Amino acid sequence: MLDQTRTTCATQQSYYDLWSSSNLETLTPTQLAEQGGRLADRAAWVFVGAYQGAMRQCFGQLRARAGWSSYLVSESRDESRAPTCALRQATAGADGFDLQGTKSWVAARSHLSTLVVNASLESGNTADVVVPVNTKGVELIEKPSGRFLPELAVGQARFDQVTLPGSALIEGTDSHVALFGLIEARCLLVALAGHFNELVPAADEPGEALLLASGLTTAELGQSGSIKILLESMTLLADWFSGWADSDVVGTGAAEVGHLRTVQARWADDRRLLEMHRPLLEKKLEKRLKVDN
């Protein structure tokens, strides 16, 4: 039976308050993604819950930090209007860096505590740095939400002469950034499976998808077998959802049926979240199979 006591989170603020009061930050990244999905009442918050798990799994430094974080990679295509982010050694021989530039997409903009910024180096390579949102020179600017995940607050970031300590640089085992796309895909599947397992506990498929995706470790994610498991769990969940979302729901009473129909309606425009990472996974699998053979 559907739990009708589930908290309705019509705004990002209400989901943030619920997430923050649920003592999730002591959990592993996988558990964090799952519980974030179980708390969510709509697709936008499933994404946020998954994303917070992915950030902590990818960047070890974040596990000791409170609040939400976001990975800033996207650059504006018009460099004359929004210069790319550049990271330079601090002047006067100081142990640290200066960050300057703009990032064009920031998820959950209005409730972030920490940013991880991918910036270019003078050598031509890139590096990731941890930037607390309240650092002097950091500005997060609101952007209008789209039709997809409309409740999610998004924006862009500007960095104007931001000074960072040397410890802000993410290096070595503290980062699995090469696997970020796979980590995000896995955490999203875990969150989605947890979400639908909570909503429709009588359905077997969400529970099966949860077991498949949650059992994969970071070290295994780049292997062809693990990518196949992610695709399998995605297909299992998406096929089940397509049938459930378009069905005439059955419940134990008018209140439960009405609630299930509301859930279906909320997902009408956001159902592509279920297979958002399929092209990435298929491309990664194709490349991995070529290496294996």
Q: What is the pLDDT of residues 262-288, one digit of tens each?
A: 888 888 888 899 999 999 999 999 999
Does residue 168 share a domain with residue 123? yes
Residue 6 has pLDDT above 80, yes or no: no
What angle is formed at CA 153 by the lines to CA 245 and CA 55, rounded to 5 degrees? 85
Packing angle of the helix pair 278-292, 224-245 (nearest 10 deg): 150
Any domain includes 51: yes
Report the share of the chain in percent with pLDDT over 90: 68
- State the Cα–Cα distance between residues 290 and 293, nearest whole angstrom: 5
For 37-77, what is each residue's pLDDT tens digit?
999 999 999 999 999 999 999 999 998 899 999 999 987 66
Does residue 147 share a domain with residue 185? no
**Which residue, 64, 24, 57, 18, is CA-closest to 41?**
18
Does residue 138 share a domain with residue 32? no
- State the Cα–Cα distance between residues 101 and 160, nearest whole angstrom: 7
Number of domains in the chain: 2
**Which residue, 50, 59, 281, is CA-closest to 188?**
50
Any domain includes 7: no
DSSP letter (8 states) at residue 170? -
Helix (H) or strand (E) holding 282: helix 278-292
Q: Please compute Rg for the chain using Cα positions.
A: 20
Residue 90 has pLDDT above 80, yes or no: no
Using pLDDT thresholds of 50, 70 and 90, give the confidence band for residue 293: confident
Q: Identify the domain boundary among 117, 139, 174.
A: 174
Packing angle of the helix pair 278-292, 180-199 (nearest 10 deg): 130
For 139-153, what is each residue's pLDDT tens digit?
999 999 888 999 999
Does residue 187 share a domain with residue 160? no
Q: Identify the domain boundary among 134, 149, 174.
A: 174
Any domain includes 1: no
Q: What is the CATH number of the domain that holds 103?
A: 2.40.110.10
Any domain includes 78: yes
How many Cβ atoms from other residues are within 10 Å of residue 255's Cβ?
Answer: 11
Contact call for residues 203 and 196 (beta carbons, < 8 A)? yes
How many Cβ atoms from other residues are within 10 Å of residue 57's Cβ?
Answer: 25
- State the Cα–Cα distance between residues 239 and 81, nearest whole angstrom: 43
Any domain includes 210: yes
Give the structural domain span for 140. Answer: 68-174
Does residue 107 share a domain with residue 124? yes
Q: Supply the mean pLDDT for the chain.
A: 89
- State the Cα–Cα distance between residues 226 and 289, nearest whole angstrom: 12
Diameter of the chain by CA atoms?
Answer: 71
Q: Which of 5-14, 21-30, 40-49, 245-254 has the lowest mean pLDDT?
A: 245-254
Does residue 112 share a domain with residue 34? no
Q: Identify the domain boundary among 129, 154, 174.
A: 174
Any domain includes 35: yes
Any domain includes 4: no
Does residue 118 share a domain with residue 100? yes
How many Cβ atoms from other residues are within 10 Å of residue 17's Cβ?
Answer: 14
Does residue 100 share a domain with residue 18? no
- State the Cα–Cα distance between residues 90 and 260, nearest whole angstrom: 56
